[in-house]
């Protein structure tokens, strides 16, 4: 909430030079005309305005050129902001780490909001109009864009922006913050050092990417890591890191390079570790193949609400790749060592994230399943589940002393 209050004042109209108020409209027209920034600044800056007015114009023009406009640009300058959700001209919500809060931004009308959505789509190299009313893209500054126009979104356009973090927390910081409890830290460290292949599961915004990025910093510096993502969000401090990024089709419907193709390419790049930022489609076939062809220490994230739900999620993704459940199950049992669940918990108006479960895959009555190995209480205490012995062998640790999870 402190971070939210920090940028909240910038949403109030700031006093402007009298000349500036007369030239704002001209600035926008010049930008829209495609004039060079230097020419826009020269024409927009009256001789009497002075340096302050020149800087004010420069900030406005930069905001317009980026597609955001001054109001949204000032909001996105806060490094604490992770998500901006625009549901309507006066319905702008922001998450700066403590949950969603409504802001005072006002875009005036649905028409203005539509113009903003179209500008942002153009900046991302995407099409957004009545014929193509839904778009996903990545803006030049790394912000992920999703926009929907009416009549699919009613009554106004809807814009969702996901901001990349400049620098995530390292593993030590995650332990200090309680995201990884102190008793669990040696277990997680052992999974990395012993080259276990794992899935990190959790809900949207639970911290899967932050956790994965921190764990990659534990990989020895002489090992080559190949990260494959829809949008590059993994930035661990590691000296031998390769990024591969998915490319969607252009407006003509050609040029797509899917995640599955990038995983196959990564397998030919002499990787010590293959990392998939998010497994969400048929690329699960290639990921499981990598885990079963000598690429130990492969990690990926997946959406699931508990470790016991990860197998069903993997089976569903495998179906998109035309893989029967028996094939998915055989691949998971042979190649996947553990599942880590990260949870977002809100208590008394405060939100925190922590690794809540560790599970192991099992074959149960002709079906792929997962057993809870360790449960982590909100206070950080470890409890053992039915699969603790399998995890004990994997990390070479004794969990017999732990109390049983309910």
Give me the chain's average pLDDT, please.
Answer: 86
pLDDT confidence of residue 226: 98
Helix (H, G, I), strand (E, B) or coil at 363: strand
- Kindly list the strands in the beta sheet with 225-229, ordered across the sheet, starting from the edge strand earlier in the chain: 241-245, 225-229, 273-276, 299-303, 198-202, 338-347, 350-364, 367-376, 382-384
> What span, in angstroms and rounded, lies between the C-alpha atoms of 380 and 376?
6
pLDDT at 33 over 60: no
Helix (H, G, I), strand (E, B) or coil at 276: strand
- Tens digit of pLDDT for each residue in 354-396? 999 999 999 998 899 999 999 999 999 999 999 999 999 999 9
Report yes or no: 291 and 197 within 8 Å, Cβ to Cβ: yes
Would you place residue 45 in the very low, low, confident or very high pLDDT band (cuts 50, 70, 90)?
Answer: low
> What span, in angstroms and rounded, lies between the C-alpha atoms of 128 and 251?
10
pLDDT confidence of residue 233: 84
For the entire predicted model, the pTM comes to 0.77
What does 331-358 look like in DSSP terms, one character per residue?
HHHHH--EEEEEEEEEETTEEEEEEEEE
pLDDT confidence of residue 47: 54
Ramachandran sector of residue 51 (left: φ over 0; alpha: ψ -120 to 50; beta: rest)? alpha
- Tens digit of pLDDT for each residue in 111-134? 999 999 999 999 888 889 999 999
pLDDT at 195 over 60: yes
pLDDT at 30 over 90: no
pLDDT at 7 over 50: no
C-alpha dihedral (177, 179, 181, 186), degrees to nearest 10: -110
- Tens digit of pLDDT for each residue in 292-321? 999 999 999 999 999 999 999 999 999 999
Q: What are phi and psi of 404, to 5 degrees?
A: -80, 140
Only one residue has tokens 């208590």, namely: 347
Q: Which of 259-263, 271-275, 342-346 is predicted with the least confidence, judged by mean pLDDT?
A: 342-346
């Amino acid at each position: 909430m402190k971070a939210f209050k920090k940028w909240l004042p910038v949403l109030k109209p700031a006093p402007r030079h009298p000349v500036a108020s007369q030239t704002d409209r001209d600035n926008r027209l010049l930008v829209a005309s495609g004039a060079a920034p230097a020419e826009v600044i020269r024409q927009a800056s009256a001789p009497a305005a002075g340096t302050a007015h020149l800087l004010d114009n420069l900030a406005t023009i930069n905001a317009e050129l980026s597609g955001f406009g001054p109001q949204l640009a000032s909001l996105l300058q806060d490094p604490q902001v992770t998500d901006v959700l625009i549901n309507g001209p006066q319905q702008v919500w922001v998450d700066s780490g403590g949950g969603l809060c409504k802001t005072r931004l006002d875009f005036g009308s649905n028409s203005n909001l539509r113009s903003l959505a179209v500008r942002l789509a153009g900046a991302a190299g995407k099409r957004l109009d009545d014929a193509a009313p839904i778009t996903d893209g990545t803006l030049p500054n790394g912000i992920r864009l999703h926009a929907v126009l009416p009549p699919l979104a009613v009554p106004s356009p809807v814009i969702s922006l996901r901001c990349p973090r400049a620098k995530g927390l390292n593993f030590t910081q995650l332990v200090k913050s309680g995201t990884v409890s102190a008793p669990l830290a040696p277990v997680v460290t052992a999974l990395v050092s012993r080259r276990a292949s794992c899935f990190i599961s959790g809900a949207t915004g639970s911290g899967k990417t932050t956790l994965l990025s921190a764990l990659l910093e534990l990989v020895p510096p002489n090992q080559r890591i190949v990260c494959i993502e829809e949008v590059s969000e993994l930035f661990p401090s590691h000296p031998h890191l390769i990024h591969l990024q998915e490319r969607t089709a252009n407006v003509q419907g050609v040029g797509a390079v899917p995640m599955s193709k990038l995983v196959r390419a990564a397998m030919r790049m002499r990787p010590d570790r293959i990392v998939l930022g998010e497994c969400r489609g048929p690329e699960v076939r290639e990921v499981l193949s990598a885990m079963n062809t000598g690429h130990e220490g492969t990690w990926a994230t997946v959406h699931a609400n508990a470790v016991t739900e990860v197998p069903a999620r993997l089976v569903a993704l495998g179906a998109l790749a035309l893989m029967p459940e028996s094939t998915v199950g055989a691949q998971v049992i042979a190649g996947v060592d553990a599942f880590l669940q990260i949870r977002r918990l809100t208590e008394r108006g405060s939100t925190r994230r922590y690794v809540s479960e560790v599970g192991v895959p099992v074959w149960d009555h002709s079906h792929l399943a997962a057993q809870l190995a360790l449960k982590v209480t909100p206070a950080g205490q470890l409890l053992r589940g039915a699969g603790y012995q399998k995890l004990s062998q994997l990390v070479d640790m004794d969990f017999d002393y732990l109390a049983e999870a309910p």
